[in-house]
A = this chain, B = another copy of it.
Amino acid sequence: MNAVTPNIAERIRALGARATPARVAVMRLLETAERALSHHDIELALQANGFDRVTLYRVLDWMVESGLAHRVADAQRVFRFSLAAPDAPAHDRHAHFRCEDCGKVFCLDDVPVTRPALPKGFSSSAVELSITGHCGHCGKHA
């Protein structure tokens, strides 16, 4: 009878999956995160819940397979996860910003990503703009 997470559990069940605590917690975390989170980020944020590492990996895999989240490998070659915007008509264009100081990755939904001209015979299904630099917080201390 916990009224805090009614919608999320509903949405999970609507996909034909079980609304487990781990799934609800990860989805809620990603919903409130304004940047792409790594597995380690999620492990830290939810450590009070006592979920197993592997469970979190499997929740994230399930979210990616279900189209609920995106997975990108950052420059340090660790996966980062962000919630897929359900109302985004086509998520084949996306921009991320990675801070060289704090390592955080931000989704830049406002930045338009234009599909460039490609060599003959090439076709594109997704375009991702990856910007490196200093974020708003770290830039102030530079």
User: A residues engaging B (CB < 8 A)?
Assistant: 72-79, 95, 97, 100, 108, 110-112, 115-137, 139-140
With known contacts A73-B73, A73-B75, A73-B77, A134–B140 Cβ distance under 8 A: no
Contacts of A77 in B (CB 8 A): 73, 77-79
Contacts of A127 in B (CB 8 A): 129-132
Q: How many copies does the complex hold?
A: 2
> Nearest chain-B residue to A72 (Cβ)?
B75
Which of B117, B132, B137 is A124 in contact with, Cβ under 8 Å? B132
Contacts of A140 in B (CB 8 A): 121
State the CA gap A139–B121 with chains docked (Å): 7
